[in-house]
Amino acid sequence: MNKIKVLIVDDSVVVRRIISDTLATDPLLEIVGVAANGHIALEKIARLKPDIITLDIEMPVMDGLETIKELRKLDRSLPVIMFSTLTERGATASLDALAFGANDYVTKPSNVGSVAEAMQCLRDDLIPKIKALCGQIVVQSIFNKPQPAQAKAAAESRPAVSRPVKKERVDILAIGISTGGPNALAELIPAIPADFPIPIVIVQHMPPVFTKLLAERLDSKAGIHVFEGAAGASLEAGQACVAPGDFHMLVEQNQEGLKVRLNQDAQENSCRPAVDVMFRSVAKEFGANVLAVVMTGMGQDGLIGCEHISRAGGQVIVQDETSSVIWGMPGAVSKAGLAEKELPLKQLAAEIVKRVELGRSYAPALVQAVRS
């Protein structure tokens, strides 16, 4: 049976032991080595040939950020999961690491009462991400599926999904995204023109603090205003609202306009915020006048919400498999027959603007702005 070979990089002996003991409980994972800093890790990679690395951010000699930058000079494909604290400093460093080429991150368990509880947190968060990023190995081990070359050929032979664009006017854009999201949003959102005529709502699976910093980073790069949602905040044309970590975000139209509503109801799809919650909300408030975009991410959050949007007559498009870090979320929507179109990340902005232009006489200028 093929196992996923993991290299653990962390300067703390205790943390290395907790991660090792946690991963050792899964028969599909094999710890092939540990390293106390990035310099040692880089020396071990060629010899150990890991399938994935867990990489601490704060380490002596060579920290996680320097390590990921050096690693990407040598290997652009080796999956890396950053290990950070749930603090503003940790969130900032994690977002930097993603920009430098890391694939995902896990926050260190905090406020847990025992080692056993810390290990359970890692089982719930770290192990699924390892398996998602090393999915081909898992598929071969469990199901004896085609080898990578065969799988790639099968994916390339699958016909592209494309249906005629619906004619309903779009009054809100709703985006659901997870693993690989910060970098994908950093490409998509700045490509949206500053005079975009409708509001945008975004659910990115992230904990508190992270979502605030993500919104600030996107705002600094984009022509539209991007902000983290707050209860009662107004949603305006030419603005994008990011759901805050640990809160479900809904939209509500009242006499004062379109407002953000937040709650801490139970997680859905093991997530809060959840894409499904937000998608159901926009389907209820806008019916056929919704454009939903499901982008890179593990799991299938957004699938049920897309069913609601589709039944209401709204539009659904997804990021394609090739440009997604993980094609779990968009893939689930596509396989369910709900996606009207699959598109590479680089083409999403133009497609969004094209659909929004319907019914708006000045919108062709927006299309030209995206294309230029």
Distance CA 269, CA 297 (A): 12
Distance CA 287, CA 63 (A): 49
E strand spans, the chain: 4-9, 29-35, 52-56, 80-84, 104-107, 172-177, 200-204, 225-228, 239-242, 248-254, 257-263, 290-294, 315-319, 341-343
- Write the CATH number of the domain with boundaries 166-371: 3.40.50.180
Give percent above pLDDT 70 in the chain.
87
Distance CA 351, CA 371 (A): 10
Catalytic residues: 178, 205, 301
pLDDT score at 86: 80
pLDDT score at 158: 42
Is 166-371 the same fold as 4-154?
yes
Distance CA 100, CA 279 (A): 31
pLDDT score at 140: 43
Q: pTM for this one?
A: 0.87
In the CATH scheme, what is the homologous superfamily, with its name and number, of domain 4-154?
Response regulator (3.40.50.2300)
Encode the chain (372 residues) as per-residue pLDDT tens digits. Answer: 789 999 999 999 999 999 999 999 999 999 999 999 999 999 999 999 999 999 999 999 999 999 999 999 999 999 999 998 888 888 999 999 999 999 999 988 776 668 888 899 899 999 999 999 998 655 444 433 444 444 444 444 444 444 555 667 999 999 999 999 999 999 999 999 999 999 999 999 999 999 999 999 999 999 999 999 999 999 999 999 999 999 999 999 999 999 999 999 999 999 999 999 999 999 999 999 999 999 999 999 999 999 999 999 999 999 999 999 999 999 999 999 999 999 999 999 999 999 999 867 544 444 444 444
What tokens does 57 get? 């951010």
pLDDT in tens, 33-49: 999 999 999 999 999 99
What are the sequence ranges of the domains in the chain?
A: 4-154, 166-371
**Neighbour count for residue 28 (Cβ, 10 Å):** 17
Cross-strand partners of 341 = 162, 317
